[in-house]
Structure 1
Amino acid sequence: MAEAKIQLPILRSVYQDLTKSEQRIADYITNHADEIMDKTIPELARNTNSAEITISRFCKKLGFSGLQGLKIALAAELSSAGDVRFQEIQKDDSYEQVAGKVFGSISEGLQDTLKILDYDAVDRAIAVLSRARRVAVYGFGNSATVCRDIETRFLRFGMLVQAYDDVSQQLTSASLLTGEDAVIAVSHSGSTLNLLKTVEVAKKSGAQVIVITSYAQSNLAKLGDIVLTGMGREVHYRSESVASRLIHMAITDVLYTGIAMGQPEKYRDNISKMRSVISSTRE
């Protein structure tokens, strides 16, 4: 099996929203990672059939001040990659091999997310959620499972929190929000039209919108007041969107833990009450 190419997590998180010329640059960097360190902007432009200004804009679109910043990030990625090999699932793999590859892709996705997660945004999201009068959580499909998990866990804080995966209910909820409320919108692609409409309505209502997505340049991300990006690794028989569901749950666990840390006594009291009531239903 051929060795997998190293790709910056940030390249993967924005790739689908890059222009064709920018994708050509991203592909070249992925396929020639070891050579990029010695390349100048003119050389990179020549090798990718691009204008020098396009190279500079590409670097800034990824959040770097220039090519040197991109090189530093790429060097860190290469040095931390070690001997990890990204492996596809084959039809004759044993279940032990399948488990190893699936668990490995989850682990790598989590490590990728650690590198691209905006921790200032995490801090702001925790602050918004901690003071919100109520929290509405919106998502469809695989993302709806993340939303239900958020509802179940955040309920432990005594929050008014509810998850919606029906478009009519989402729109109704969004129209009744106020500036005291918060929204968590979850979407792998960030391009689901019904979810975009719901978030637009929520913003018009004055609610603060926290977006959890895999694509930092998606239309949903552009609507968010706070954007948290995390992406899973795709393997054969298992889509990137399914992998990202677990990554997005991990991000919400960070938010959950941050809120709990900010109100430890209330959290412990609520957990104690919850366990006491639940234990009374058991024999």
Structure 2
Amino acid sequence: MNASGGRRATGGGSAPPAPPAPPAPAALAAKVRTLGPSMTRSMQRVAEAVAGDPAGCAALTVTGLAELTGTSEATVVRTARLLGYPGYRDLRLALAGLAAQQQSGRAPAITTDIAVDDPIADVVAKLAYDEQQTLADTAAGLDTVQLGAAVAALTAARRTDVYGIGASNLVAQDLTQKMLRIGLIAHAPGDPHLAVTNAVQLRAGDVALAITHSGSTGDVIEPLRVAFERGATTIAITGRPDSPVTQYADHVLTTSTARESELRPAAMSSRTSQLLVVDCLFVGVAQRTYESAAPALAASYEALAHRHGALRGVAGDRRA
């Protein structure tokens, strides 16, 4: 399974899906950050070179870039394809576009890591910049075709299970709470055993959604695999589009991550981009179910307001 969606071919004469469009120039740096950790060292050298000096690399032939990075022409072409470009020529065009954006000031520079002795004001500024860049990178790299397909599946689902462990479970809980407030059935089991036993009950017409930045969390992959085999529509939100979890995903939504540092590992910084994707999914579902979603949201607001008013009244009586 891959980011183009759809289950593995099981025969028949249906035409293969059209290949996804190459990433826009603004998304190139985000792709390098997202895919870099999963590349071979030689491919990382190519990726780091093009991200660090897009103008200089745009002027090089495939042979020139291979010589600059101490790799081979085949490695350069493989890196271009992994980044989402059909070939090196397409990557050069994107590099030229990125260089033009940087020269005009529209493309931000790379921030520095947070140091142990940074003043708190610098910590705030660096974190705010990283959060903004993470959101921008995720938005630039998000496949809206896959997003639309995922929204359609969630909208039509009889029931949705969302799997996540640790920080990703917080994101899973966020999505299910939103869906419950518009009258949809959704669960986010935090226990891995419960997740698998829930997945066994899924069938065609249900949705299972896995959230894992690394894409290799076994406790998330296993229930998604079970749901996939039971015929449910499966979705993966991950920072690694070539990771094991995508084998069992009909639709893959890729996230970006702020620069990892000693004080802020990827598992923590990934939550920002995951929440953006979750919000996109929820708003898309709410749009499609507006006639029922709007009254459900109003009813939940009214119920909460009534509860808060009752609690204030009890507190007032106690003070009296």
Q: Which residue of 2 aligns with 1:10?
A: 31
Alpha carbons 2:155, 2:289 under 8 Å: kept:
no
Alpha carbons 1:139, 1:165 under 8 Å: kept:
yes
Please list every run of 5 or more consecutive structure 2 residues that lacks an aligned counterpart in the other structure. 1-26, 310-320
Partner of residue 130 from structure 1, selected from 155, 164, 172: 155
Please list every run of 5 or more consecutive structure 1 residues that lacks an aligned counterpart in the other structure. 1-5
Please report how far the alpha carbon of residue 13 of structure 1 lies from its aligned counterpart in structure 2 after TM superposition: 1.6
Alpha carbons 1:135, 1:184 under 8 Å: kept:
yes
* Structure 2 Cα separation of the partners of residues 277 and 219 of structure 1: 42
**Which stretch shows the higher mean deviation, 130-139 or 228-237?**
228-237
3-state DSSP of counterpart to 1:185: strand
Read off the aligned partner of 2:186 and give its amino acid letter.
V
Partner of residue 38 from structure 1, selected from 55, 59, 63: 59
Alpha carbons 2:210, 2:221 under 8 Å: kept:
no
Select the structure of larger CA radius of gyration.
Answer: 2
Partner of residue 237 from structure 1, selected from 256, 263, 266: 263
For 1:107-155, what per-residue CA distance to the aligned partner results, in whole angstroms no more than 9, with x for missing partners? 0111111221101111101001000110000010110110110111111
Please report how far the alpha carbon of residue 10 of structure 1 lies from its aligned counterpart in structure 2 after TM superposition: 0.9
The aligned runs of 1:51-200 (5 Å cut-off) are 51-81=72-102, 82=105, 84-200=109-225
For 1:68-89, what per-residue CA distance to the aligned partner results, in whole angstroms no more than 9, with x for missing partners? 2212333343444535440322
Partner of residue 226 from structure 1, selected from 251, 270, 282: 251
**Which stretch shows the higher mean deviation, 149-158 or 47-56?**
47-56
* Structure 2 Cα separation of the partners of residues 29 and 84 of structure 1: 14
Q: 1:225 to 1:271 in 2, by over 3 A?
A: same
* Structure 2 Cα separation of the partners of residues 45 and 25 of structure 1: 8
Q: 1:154 to 1:77 in 2, by over 3 A?
A: farther
3-state DSSP of counterpart to 1:136: strand
The aligned runs of 1:261-280 (5 Å cut-off) are 261-280=287-306
* Structure 2 Cα separation of the partners of residues 110 and 196 of structure 1: 25
Tell me if 1:256 matches 2:277: no
3-state DSSP of counterpart to 2:113: coil
Q: Stretches of 4+ moved more than 6 A in 1?
A: none
Alpha carbons 2:237, 2:253 under 8 Å: kept:
yes
* Structure 2 Cα separation of the partners of residues 109 and 75 of structure 1: 22
* Structure 2 Cα separation of the partners of residues 72 and 183 of structure 1: 38
* Structure 1 Cα separation of the partners of residues 34 and 122 of structure 2: 27
Read off the aligned partner of 2:51 and give its amino acid letter.
T
Aligned residues: 278
**Which stretch shows the higher mean deviation, 153-162 or 191-200?**
191-200
Read off the aligned partner of 1:262 and give its amino acid letter.
R
Please report how far the alpha carbon of residue 7 of structure 1 lies from its aligned counterpart in structure 2 after TM superposition: 6.8
Alpha carbons 1:8, 1:74 under 8 Å: kept:
no
Please report how far the alpha carbon of residue 176 of structure 1 lies from its aligned counterpart in structure 2 after TM superposition: 1.2
Q: 1:77 to 1:183 in 2, by over 3 A?
A: farther
Q: 1:270 to 1:248 in 2, by over 3 A?
A: same
Q: 1:222 to 1:75 in 2, by over 3 A?
A: farther
* Structure 2 Cα separation of the partners of residues 54 and 90 of structure 1: 34
Q: Which residue of 1 aligns with 2:234?
A: 209
Q: Percent identity?
A: 28
* Structure 1 Cα separation of the partners of residues 236 and 48 of structure 2: 27
* Structure 2 Cα separation of the partners of residues 80 and 38 of structure 1: 16
* Structure 1 Cα separation of the partners of residues 101 and 49 of structure 2: 20
Read off the aligned partner of 2:139 and give its amino acid letter.
L
3-state DSSP of counterpart to 1:238: coil
**Which stretch shows the higher mean deviation, 135-144 or 53-62?**
53-62
